[in-house]
Structure formats: C-alpha cells, structure tokens
Amino acid sequence: MGSTVKYVSTRGYGPQSFTDILLEGLAPDGGLYVPHTYPQLSLEDFQALGDILINDGYARLAAQILALFIDDIPLWDLEKITRQAYTKEKFGTDLIAPVTKIESNLWLAHLSQGPTAAFKDMAMQVLGQFFDYELARREQTMTILGATSGDTGSAAEFALLDTSRVQVFMLSPLGRMTPFQRGQMYGIDSPRIINITVPGSFDDCQDLVKEVNSDAEFKARHSIGAVNSINWARLVSQVVYYVSSWFQVSGGRGEVSFSVPSGNFGNICAGHVARMMGLPIKDLVCATNENNVLAEFFRTGVYRVRASTETFATSSPSMDISKASNFERFFFDLAGRDATEVGRLFGEQLLTKGSIDIRTTSYAQDPAEVYGFKTGVSTHRDRVDTIADFYRRPGYLMDPHTADGVKVGRELAGDEPMIAMETALPVKFGSITKEAIGKVPEIPTRFAQVLDAEQHTVLCDRGVDQLKEIIEQRTQFSPM
C-alpha cells in the first residue's frame, strides 16, 4: 500500500508535500490543502488494517493509515508519533476509541476517552507530536497563539504539554467557560502553556489574535502559528477511527453508516475521505443543532453563512458555528475538483454575497446519492429527551453533542448498522445533564482533581499592545 501523495489547495496552489503544509494553516491562496488524489484501498486492504488494530493496536493502525497520505516521514517515525499520541495512559483503554452497542441497530464510537474528554484529543494529540517532530527536524521552535471558547483550547494545551518546541498562548473569555473547562485548562502549570483571560466574549479573544497576526514583523519574530481545525494533519488523523469503528462493528464484512454531530465539518469530512478511499460506508449523517447552515445546504443546495450575531448560543456549544471551515474540502470534490470554480465561489462570492447556490450548476448532483450524505437537525428539546431516554433505558449517560448525533442518526438509519460518534463526555456539560436527568454527571475518577487544582492565568484587559507585551515577557524561546 505504499504511495506518493502531494497536496494541492482547493483553490489551485501547489503541489506541496505533507511536511510543507504541516505547519501552515490556510494555503497562500486562501484555500484548504487536500491530497491530489485519495489513496484507493480494496476490501481486503481494509480487512488487513482491521487485523492490525486487533493484533497491534490503534497506534500501529494509525501509522499505517497516515503512511498512505505522507511520503516524507518514514513509517518508523510515524509509528513513534502515533505511539506517543495514543497511549492507554492518556485514553484509558487499549482500543483508544472503543465502540459499544446501545440499541438494536445503534452503536456509539467513544471518541472522547482522551485527556480532555472530547473527541478533539484524537487529532490534537497527533498534531502535537507532528509539530515537535518537524520542528526538531528544522531546528525551529513555534509559538501557538489561539482563542478558545472551551474544547479546542484545552485539547491543544494537553497535546502540546508533552512537546518541547512549542509554546502556547491561549486566550479565553473571562468567566464564560464551564467550571470543569476552566479547571482543566487553567490547572495546567507549565511555563510553555500560558492561559490569558480576556474580559468579553470569544469573538473579542479572536479579534485580539487577529490583531497580533496582522503585525507581520511581530508574527515572524515569534514564529506565531495556529492549531485550527483546517489543518490537514488533524483531519487525516480522524480517518483512522472511521476505519477502526467500521471494523469493530462489521468484523470486516459489510457496510455501516455514521452519524456525526457537526460544527466545522472536520469530523464528518474525515468520514468523507474514508469513504472516498473505499471504506464500506453507506451513509454519512451530518447532524446539526439549531445552527443548521450545513443541514440547509444539503437540503436546498444553498450554502448561506451566518453573521456571528445570527449564531445561536445552544446547549451543544461546540457545534455553534456560522461558517463550517472544513466544508470547502468536501465542496472541492462536489465541484469535480475544479479549483477555479472553488476559488470563485469561496474566495469571492461567499465574501460579497454571503452565500453559494449550486442549484443551477453542472455539478448540482445529489450529495446523498453520490457521496452518501444525509442530514438532520436536533434542537434543545431533542437533546434533553435523547439524554433522558438513553439514561433511563440502557442506563447510558451521553453528552448533548452526542445526543444530537444519536437523535438524527436514529431517524435516518437504514438496515445497516448506524454508528453515532460520541464527541464529548457529559462531565463537561453539567447544566443540560441536570435538566435531562435531574442531577449533574458524576466526575470520572481520572478527572477528580480537575476542580481543585490551583489555576494559573494572566489577565489581558488592555488590548493588543498588552497582549504583545505578555508574549514578549513570557516567551521561552529566543525571538528570531
């Protein structure tokens, strides 16, 4: 299954190799990097990968799959990277992402067993190791500057805590995260992980990050980078659990479908890649909450991004998006990989008109028929009912994002097994759990210390100049 894979931007730039694009976010033309072709595997190949999962474990499976997309890091090193990322110690289980049955034809893929109890650990742990590997090879260091409203920031910090060449400055809105999220992030005690609190909202944090990044000289001097969800290394790491889940449920025979609680379209886009590689996936169910930009596109053929004022704050907050940043990757395939067309639509029309309408284009094919995409919406009421229902019957407590996926997945399930992705543990979202079952979730023993840990933060209440000062003062690496 050896291969050569180059990367191209959805808007035409390239080709580049994997390590060229690893430390970058967007391509220089504003597009997203995708492999120039998807590796093609036979059923026998996927069965052999399943055997690797069973005999050698998830880390080895991950290295084998990554090797299909990466021709400039030797397999031996990929295995070291994935072994560091996926340990029983961090994930609490040998299988890393086990799958269990919760109803006659419904399964849960447990992607939230990692250090921060959300599925972002699955990708971020690998990304942290990739960064350290590539920076060592280049004899460089990097400063990650980011903003978070919760899950992404803590997953990034826990992943980069284990590395030596990356420092993190993470902005979060003062007092707006849940007590568990605060305890988890601010409890980290390391000179390389600096949590900066900002009075205001997540958007205010994001604006400060943008202001720093617009100072090209400062950005270059401190080698400032990002860990956002459009990074290809994050996306490709997620392909692995589609293969492992398929194998655990099907035993290597027959099709399955997946239901994926979606926000930035990263998780389900990895499912799309797996399906394009030949993995026997019948349907990919894209479940959204009240912020239904994606569901609307699949239903109508019109993709209309929302202003942040039009984005609802819901009880599945990690899916509260107004623009799905990974969607352009799927769209590239939908539009017959026509980079000029994607550039025109995403680089121009989306910015000027705020929407894209494919109904009259030559590629206005049915995404359900061609790519297996189905879609549905779940509301606050649905989440509460779903959490309560499964807590009563199989006695299983799920988080609100997982509940969105389960609700929509059950509605759209056919005869094949439906696997819903569990994207977080309920301990992170106490208040909706209380509404659904009358009590807050128990704190799993491995998180018992989270709420008691001493918290370390730096306040930034005087704008971008103060933020730059904090970075100057706290940097562990000598600026260039």
Ligand X SMILES: *Cc1c(COP(=O)(O)O)cnc(C)c1O
CB of 423 to ligand X, least distance (A): 3
- Which member of 80, 90, 101, 120 is catalytic? 120
- When asked if residue 424 is in the footprint of ligand X (CB under 6 A), the reply is yes
- When asked if residue 418 is in the footprint of ligand X (CB under 6 A), the reply is no
Quick note: the x/- pattern for ligand X over 298-337, rule CB under 6 A, is: --------------------xx------------------
CA 342 to chain centre: 23
Q: Cα separation of 150 and 90, whole Å?
A: 19
CB of 294 to ligand X, least distance (A): 9
Beta strand spans in 297-369 (E): 302-304, 355-357
CB of 42 to ligand X, least distance (A): 28
Is 196 or 324 the residue whose CB approaches ligand X more closely? 324
Q: Render the burial of 36-59: b for 16+ CB within 10 Å, e for the rest.
A: eebbebeeebbbebbebbeeebbb
Q: Which stretch binds ligand X (CB under 6 A): 247-255, 264-272, 348-356, 362-370?
A: 264-272
Q: Among this protein's residues, is 120 annotated catalytic?
A: yes
Is 41 or 171 the residue whose CB approaches ligand X more closely? 171
- When asked if residue 265 is in the footprint of ligand X (CB under 6 A), the reply is yes
- When asked if residue 227 is in the footprint of ligand X (CB under 6 A), the reply is no
Residue 221's φ and ψ, nearest 5 degrees, are -60, -35
Count of residues in contact with ligand X, rule CB under 6 A? 16
- When asked if residue 262 is in the footprint of ligand X (CB under 6 A), the reply is yes
Q: Which stretch binds ligand X (CB under 6 A): 8-16, 47-55, 255-263, 342-350?
A: 255-263
- When asked if residue 96 is in the footprint of ligand X (CB under 6 A), the reply is no
Spell out the residues 6+ positions from residue 178 whose beta carbon is closer than 8 angstroms to its own.
Answer: 150, 428, 429, 430, 431
Is 66 or 293 the residue whose CB approaches ligand X more closely? 293
Is 107 or 330 the residue whose CB approaches ligand X more closely? 330
- When asked if residue 182 is in the footprint of ligand X (CB under 6 A), the reply is no
Q: In the range 228-247, which residues lie near ligand X by CB under 6 A?
A: 229
Could you tell me the CA-to-CA distances from 78 to 64, 67, 419 in Å, in that order?
8, 7, 28
Is 67 or 111 the residue whose CB approaches ligand X more closely? 111
Residue from 35, 266, 271, 372 that binds ligand X (CB under 6 A)? 266
Count of Cβ atoms closer than 10 Å to residue 415 Cβ: 9
Tokens of 386: 């779903």
Q: Which stretch binds ligand X (CB under 6 A): 137-145, 189-197, 260-268, 356-364?
A: 260-268
- When asked if residue 35 is in the footprint of ligand X (CB under 6 A), the reply is no
Q: In the range 390-409, which residues lie near ligand X by CB under 6 A?
A: 401
Positive or negative, the CA dihedral 192, 197, 202, 203 is negative
Residue from 14, 31, 50, 261 that binds ligand X (CB under 6 A)? 261
- When asked if residue 14 is in the footprint of ligand X (CB under 6 A), the reply is no
Q: Cα separation of 240 and 254, whole Å?
A: 18
Provide the residue count of the chain. Answer: 480
The stretches of 151-305 forming alpha helices (DSSP H) are: 151-160, 179-186, 202-213, 216-221, 232-250, 266-276, 293-300
Q: Render the burial of 435-473: b for 16+ CB within 10 Å, e for the rest.
A: ebbeeebeeeeebeebeeeeeeeeebeeebeebbebbee
Q: Cα separation of 213 and 146, whole Å?
A: 10
CB of 480 to ligand X, least distance (A): 33
Half-sphere exposure of 405 (CA within 13 A, CB side): 31
Is 14 or 114 the residue whose CB approaches ligand X more closely? 114
- When asked if residue 263 is in the footprint of ligand X (CB under 6 A), the reply is yes
- When asked if residue 97 is in the footprint of ligand X (CB under 6 A), the reply is no
Which of 221, 249, 1 has the alpha carbon at shortest distance from 101? 249
Strand-pair partners of 456? none
- When asked if residue 433 is in the footprint of ligand X (CB under 6 A), the reply is no
Is 410 or 428 the residue whose CB approaches ligand X more closely? 428
Q: Cα separation of 101 and 238, whole Å?
A: 21
Which of 248, 275, 271, 246 has the alpha carbon at shortest distance from 261? 271
Query: Which residues bind to ligand X, rule: CB under 6 A?
Result: 118, 120, 151, 229, 261-267, 318-319, 401, 423-424
Q: Give the active site residues.
A: 120
